[in-house]
Amino acid sequence: MNISHRIKYSYLKRLLKIHPASLLILSFLGLIVTGTILLKLSISTNAGHLSVIDALFTATSAVCVTGLIVVDTGSYFTMFGQCVILVLIQIGGLGVMTVSVMLFRIIGRNITFRQRMALQDVFAHTPRGDIFQLLKTIFIFTAIVELIGIGGFFIYWLQSFPVGRAMYLAVFHSISAFCNAGFSVFPDSMMRSSGDWFLNLNMCLLIILGGIGFPAVYDVYTNWKSRNQERRKLSVQTKVVFVTTIALIFFGAVIFWLLEKPHTLSGRPFLETILISVFQSVTCRTAGFNTVDIALLSDATLMAMTGLMFFGASPGSCGGGVKTTSLALIVAFTISRVKKQKRLNLFKKSIPVETVSRSVSLILVCLSLIGLVLFLILAGNSMQSSFTPALKTRFIAYLFETVSAFGTVGLSMGITPTLSLWGKSWIILLMFIGRVGILTFAYIIIGGGTEKGREYAEENIMIG
């Protein structure tokens, strides 16, 4: 074996030992760096140039399927640049989640039992032996849904654009919607089509299917496949995902309609106000498209949307956030404590205490992270020499921006392009953490296991 072969073998051997958490982060970083370089090329922009920080911001936003933009996608980037963004969105929303498995398959190596079990933390909530069948289902499901979305958008835009342009718009927005990215080549997103039922429902369907989570989709598929055999029940996670998703969409739409009826919805036809409310309830979870001007919404509406953005999509999906399952566990846990029940039960199943504890810890850590980044951005603004109280932006705008970045939503009150280098850097980091997951970063920082630590005599303290 010559030296070059030894180096390659040594590299592959080291690659096989990388934990999926490390591999996931490295894959995202590699894709972001590649995207940044491509967007920096003169052929990517109509102006022929883009600053490094703006290229990095756009690449991160695309890879992390966020949708926050510092320049208008449709007018600033050339067709090449837009295609780069689209590829980053597709890989970021789908490919990076499967990159660990794909790498092992490409290099022709078998996956050990320990590595298989570790990979299941990314794809499944329970141990399973059909991990490659799940991967295959993910690709087929994605292709079918995006093609259906493309067909719907193409029919709609064919009425206003030439065939080639209509097809391009259909492909771009179908992938962006399914991956919950929120990127649009229109400067006003979907505001020009706020009253069109066909377009809005087509986009809502793509967003929901992209954010429901591949584990839930696979669970439904296998349940349907075994319909002629012994009936198989849906998992508790799948049931929780569906119930929570429907509840969030319904209550989000009702709250939006009630709060905005005297304001942005005033003077519009009744059915259009319903459509706008449902669309914004769906999209503010993780998608980032909008049919009304976000900056004109009332503070109460913005706070309600901030809550929806914080919890985001479901586990194993294209979206970010704390996840719907965490919200469901916290609500159910609170109710069980009020009823003085010792165990948390959902759908006639008892949830492990460790799972509930991790959900509480996850929410607290995420809230602390958002609060810290928000403080750092505000502190950076106040220390600028050009800062004056008269130029101060509303606090809610920065809070909205920060949560939107963490939840990989992409909605903004319009302050993204005005962020300083300091502010953009923190938003980039928050988008990255929000996409790969706080638990993945926790593994990298503190390792995989937990130590029992010392135990002393107990002593109670007062709370509340």
Q: List, for residues 305-333, the tens digit of each pLDDT value.
A: 999 999 888 887 777 788 888 889 999 88
In a domain, 22, yes or no: yes
Does residue 270 lie in a domain region? yes
**Amino acid (one-letter) located at 393:** T
**The pLDDT value given to residue 381:** 80
From 225, 220, 273, 272, select the one nearest 245 (Cα to Cα): 220
- What confidence score (pLDDT) does residue 453 get? 60
pLDDT digits (tens, 9 = 90+) for 249-270: 999 999 999 999 998 999 899 9
**Half-sphere exposure of residue 334, counting CA atoms within 13 Å on the CB side?**
7
- CA distance linking residue 414 with residue 303, whole number of Å: 16
- Print the domain residue range for 135: 3-446
Q: What is the pLDDT of residues 118-142, one digit of tens each?
A: 455 555 555 555 667 777 778 888 8
Assigned domain for 174 exists: yes
pLDDT at 115 over 90: no
- Among 228, 239, 410, 381, smallest CA distance to 319 is for 410
Is residue 461 one of the residues assigned to a domain?
no
Average pLDDT, the chain: 82
Asked whether residue 462 is assigned to any structural domain, the reply reads no
Q: Is residue 247 part of a domain?
A: yes
- Quick check: is 457 in a domain? no
> Residue 87 and residue 93: Cα distance in Å, rounded?
10
Tell me, what amino acid is at 162? P
Among 402, 398, 352, residue whose Cα is nearest residue 236: 352
- Considering the domain boundaries, does residue 8 fall inside one? yes
Alpha-carbon distances of 92 from 15, 32, 213, 317, rounded to whole Å: 21, 9, 15, 11
Q: What is the value of pTM for the model shown?
A: 0.87
Neighbouring-strand partners of residue 20: none
With beta carbons less than 8 A apart as the criterion, state whether 401 and 427 touch.
Answer: yes
Map residue 459 onto helix, strand or coil. Answer: coil
- Summarised one tens digit per residue, pLDDT across range 411-432 is 998 888 888 899 999 999 999 9
Question: Total structural domains in the chain?
Answer: 1
Q: In whole angstroms, what is the distance from residue 63 CA to residue 30 CA?
A: 10
